[in-house]
Amino acid sequence: MTGRPGPSRDDAVRFEQVTVERGGRAVLHDVDTSFAAGRVTGLFGPSGSGKSTLIRAIAGVQLRVRGAVTVLGERPGSMAVRRELGYMTQSPSVYEDLTVAENVRYFAAIRGGEIGDVLERVQLSSHANQLVRNLSGGQRARVSLAAALVGRPRLLLLDEPTVGLDPLLRRDLWRLFGELAAEGSALLVSSHVLDEARHCDEVILLRDGRIVAQLSPAELSVRTGTEDLDEAFIRLIEPR
Amino acid sequence: MSQARTLATARRVLLQLRHDPRTVALMLLVPCVLETLLRLIYAHHRAAFDQAGAPLLAFFPLTTVFLVTSIALLRERVTGTLERLLTSPLGRLELLLGYALSFGLLAAVQAIVVCALTLGPLGLRVQGPVALLVILAVCVALLGIGLGLLASAFARTEFQVVQFFPLIILPQLLLCGLLVARERMPSVLHAISDALPLSYAVDGMHQLSRQVGAGGAVSADIAIVLAFAVGALVLGAATLRRQTD
């Protein structure tokens, strides 16, 4: 594996020999990785490669995690972590029978924070008083994202936040993730669209529950000799 | 324990109900319809209505509240909001107390409405204090909330959660003394009925309908029902797992 971070880095999240079993088979195998605050870390891999399981292990909601997971210096799921964590699940997990603003206000209230400019940031302020059940899939995904962003958490786990969105909105959201990292948060953003790796400071490539590589998008291009990130990923996982 | 997070959760559940007026209307109306039906069935047996009307005043709200709360929490599990909440600072007991508060408020309104109808226009005759009757009905509704939330912790799908209704509620109806007085049951069944909360609710209602000044005994029944409700809530919080497969 390349790009193993040195011990000097101040890690937001660190995995040491982490294995996760689901339904009798391992979906993560001996995963060693870490990522730092202040950067956007992309988590890429095909569907079923273990991305959501890895994210759930950090969030502290995954059963049967063996090995050591350290989150902001604490145990996953501890109160100290939960105060600092914004988690966006893969399918939009918001209340369909509440308006956009009511949803965000509730998640702000249980985190002890304010709504602030979160609706502007996900471009939903004009839909604030609409019921979520009347929104499109892409809009619901952004309500779910807004619910993760309220209260300015130090660690953001975003499971496929850009899936199903139009290119313009995807670009704007990746820009927003960059801003949040610049403000000091640690971001782990998963996607199965390799092309989006260019927006990340660092990418973790996952396949069949194993980390294939962890490196910057530029290093990925150099190592595989192609600018096409989809092609680069194929060359990495299918070495000739 | 955070009061602010509990209250925010209660407020959120009430807002959800406000966007679903049909459910609220059904919760308020269904027990009223059933009590009216009971009155009509016993049109020529006034004494029989007096005897069954009060215990069923506790039972009908128990059923509606049980179903609504168990499904409400199950929906949180299915839609993923529960997983999100479990990664937030909101504690499991805070979440369940938020539900108990909001649905408890609705249940209190429901109890007042159905008691007013039954004691007023339907003419149910009770000997004991009416206030105690309403309080007991509200406590039984709180019990329904507690049991509903607890049942929901063991269900993964809608099909599973509705099965808990015949499993948890209907045996209590058979054993609570409404069909056969508990003293006249086989001793094993009597002992089982002693361990079931609905038995105390029905005992209390029977006392209220028959005896003047049954306050002391009824208060004890109310305390027992309330203790079961709190126990179910705490057990529900303990069985709500943060980590899932």
Other beta carbons within 10 Å of A32: 15
pLDDT for position A9: 55
Cα torsion A29, A11, A81, A121: sign: negative
| Nearest CA distance, B109 vs chain A (angstrom) | 22
Q: For chain B, what is the mean pLDDT?
A: 94
Of B8, B90, B242, the CB nearest to A61: B242
What is the rounded CA–CA span in Å between residue A38 and residue A35? 10
Out of B19, B80, B89, closest to residue A82 by CB: B89
Superfamily of domain A1-84+154-240: P-loop containing nucleotide triphosphate hydrolases (3.40.50.300)
Helix (H) or strand (E) holding A20: strand A11-22
Residue A240, pLDDT score = 54
The answer to whether ipTM exceeds 0.95 is: no
Average pLDDT over residues B201-221: 88
Residues 6+ apart with CB under 8 A from B227: none
Measured from the Cβ of residue A84, the count of other Cβ atoms closer than 10 Å reads: 20
Question: Domain map of chain A by residue range?
Answer: 1-84+154-240, 87-153
This prediction's pTM: 0.92
Asked whether the beta carbons of A128 and A139 are under 8 A apart, the reply is no
A110 → closest Cβ in B79, B80, B90:
B90
Chain A hits for B83, CB-CB cut-off 8 Å, are 59, 61, 89, 93
Distance CA B76, CA A2 (A): 41
Q: Count of A–B CB contacts within 8 Å?
A: 83
CB contact under 8 A, A94 and B90: no
Q: What's the pLDDT score for residue A238?
A: 73
How far is B95 from chain A, CA to nearest CA, in Å? 10
Window 63-122 of B, Cβ < 8 Å to A: 79-81, 83-90
The residue extents of the domains of chain B are: 3-239
Cα B200 to Cα A81: distance, rounded to the nearest angstrom? 44
Q: Where are the alpha helices (DSSP H) in A60-135?
A: 79-82, 100-111, 118-121
Q: What is the pLDDT of residues B36-88, one digit of tens each?
A: 999 999 999 999 999 899 999 989 889 999 999 999 999 999 999 999 999 99
Q: What is the 3-state secondary structure (H, E, C) of B36-59?
A: HHHHHHCCCCHHHHHHHHHHHHHH
| Chain B hits for A61, Cβ within 8 Å | 83, 86-87, 242-244
Q: Residue A112: its pLDDT value, please?
A: 84
Q: What is the DSSP letter of A150?
A: T
Query: CB neighbours (10 Å) of residue A193?
Result: 13
In the structure, what pLDDT confidence band is assigned to residue B136 with cuts at 50, 70 and 90? Answer: very high
CB pair distance less than 8 Å for B8 and A131 = no
Nearest to B166 by CA among B46, B236, B50, B67: B67
Parts of chain A with a pLDDT under 70: 1-9, 239-240
Chain A residues whose CB is inside 8 A of the B68 CB are none
Q: Searching chain A, which residue's CA lies closest to the CA of residue B82?
A: A93
Point out the residue among B12, B19, B242 whose CB comes nearest to the CB of A106: B12
Residue of A56, A88, A106 to mutate, testing the B interface (most B Cβ within 10 Å of its Cβ): A106
CB-CB: which of A60, A63, A92 is closest to B87?
A60
B241 contact residues in A (CB cutoff 8 A): 63
Q: Which residues of B touch A111 (CB under 8 A)?
A: 88-89
DSSP annotation string for B57-122: HHHHHHHHHHHHHHHHHHHHHHHSHHHHHHTSS--HHHHHHHHHHHHHHHHHHHHHHHHHHHHTTT
Smallest CA–CA distance, residue B232 to chain A, in Å, is 24
CB contact (8 A) between residue B87 and residue A87: yes
Contact B84 A89 (CB under 8 A): yes
Distance, in Å, from the CA atom of B124 to the CA atom of B130, rounded to the nearest integer, reads 11
Mutation target vs A (from B77, B81, B99, B102; most A CBs, 10 A cutoff): B81
**Where on the phi/psi map is residue A109: left (φ > 0), alpha (ψ -120 to 50), or beta?**
alpha
The 10s digit of each residue's pLDDT in B146-160 is 999 999 988 989 899
Contact: A82, B87; criterion CB under 8 Å: yes
How many Cβ atoms from other residues are within 10 Å of residue A222's Cβ? 12
| Higher pLDDT among residues A226 and B35, named by residue | B35
